Amino acid sequence: MNIVKNRYYIVTFILGFTYTLFSQQNSNHIQWQKIDEGLFLSEYLAPKKSILGDHKITILKINPSRYDFNLFSAKKKEEHTRTAKEWGNQKKQIAIINAGMYRMDHATNLGYMKDYNFINNPNENKDNTIVAFNRKDNSVPEFQIIDRTCQNWEVLKNKYNSFTQSIRMVDCNQKNRWSRQSKKWSMVVIGKDEEGNALFIISRSPYTVHDFINILLQAPLKLYNLMYLEGGPEASFYLNHNNTVVEKMGSYETGFNENDKNTVFWEIPNVIGITKKEN
């Protein structure tokens, strides 16, 4: 096994099969690399340059009809914090991202978080987006990002088994909901496109959130809505499937870690993973 590395991601070559991340593309085109049925990977070269790094945005597109979404928490009995890579390998997940920001106890999500009978945080905050998956019946999509300003949350909260709440970035009318500010950071976010695919998205290169949203809205993603998950060194993305391994972690955060030097995953308490559905 030969492993080819650059500073920010790893692509693995096994048994002669070569998987490369296509990044030399214009802002009107995204080239998707098929990892498996219903699973596609790309590195989108952002048209707006960052103050640091390569301004590449890693995007994993996931068809929810082919993959299950799984919520893991260090707050569950006999669990503990792990890096994204450790969560992925130990829980046998294809891909892992942060499930949201957390409190000082390094366990409790800032917003509502529930997974079947387990409740990480029973309290809803003022944030208007909630990722929902593991549906109870087929009257709703298998995965969605609920926008409480244009959907009936009181009905939908009884339609799924798994939820995590965080900050709305793009609303159900495809509008940028983040005000302009000067602070910048690496970030990981979760989106849904117009076809119902889930999007795991990470940028190590720091941007203001407002600018990052505009970059994604202008990209050919057919983005429907978008929710913020985490920023700075804690931002994590890990993929290990069909001979392709990608490890991406954040670094820069205004007022906290103003450099591009972090090259290791930080331990995080709550993550979303995916596994292939059984036929």
Q: What percent of the chain has pLDDT over 70?
A: 90
Q: Is the pLDDT of residue 208 over 60?
A: yes
- Rounded to 5 degrees, φ, ψ at 3 are -115, 120
- Domain around 62: 2-276
Tens digits of residue pLDDT in 188-206: 999 999 999 999 999 999 9
- Convert the pLDDT of each residue in 84-107 to its tens digit: 999 999 999 999 999 999 999 999
Angle at 130 (CA atoms; ends 179, 238), nearest 5 degrees: 90
Overall residue count recorded for the chain in this entry: 279
> What mean pLDDT do residues 206-219 have?
98
Query: What whole-number distance in Å separates Cα of residue 266 and Cα of residue 120?
Result: 20
Q: Which pLDDT tens digit goes with each residue over 146-156?
A: 999 999 999 99
Residue 26 confidence class, pLDDT cut points 50, 70, 90: low
pLDDT, residue 125, reads 97
Question: Looking at the 3D structure of the chain, how many domains does it have?
Answer: 1
Residue 142 pLDDT exceeds 70:
yes
- The pLDDT score that the predictor gives to residue 6 is 35
At 25 the pLDDT is 52
Residue 21 has pLDDT above 80, yes or no: no
**Using an 8 Å Cβ cutoff, are 52 and 252 in contact?**
yes
Tell me the pLDDT tens digit for each residue of 41-89.
999 999 999 999 999 999 999 999 999 999 999 999 999 999 999 999 9
Average predicted confidence (pLDDT) for the chain = 91
pLDDT(16) > 60: no
Q: How many helices (H) and strands (E) does the chain have?
A: 3, 19
Q: Would you state the pLDDT for residue 28?
A: 72
pTM to 2 decimal places: 0.91
Provide, rounded to the nearest whole percent, the portion of the chain with pLDDT above 90: 89
19, pLDDT greater than 60? no
- What is the model's pLDDT at position 18? 33
SS (H, E, C) 26-55: CCCCCCCEEEECCEEEEEEECCCCCCCCCC
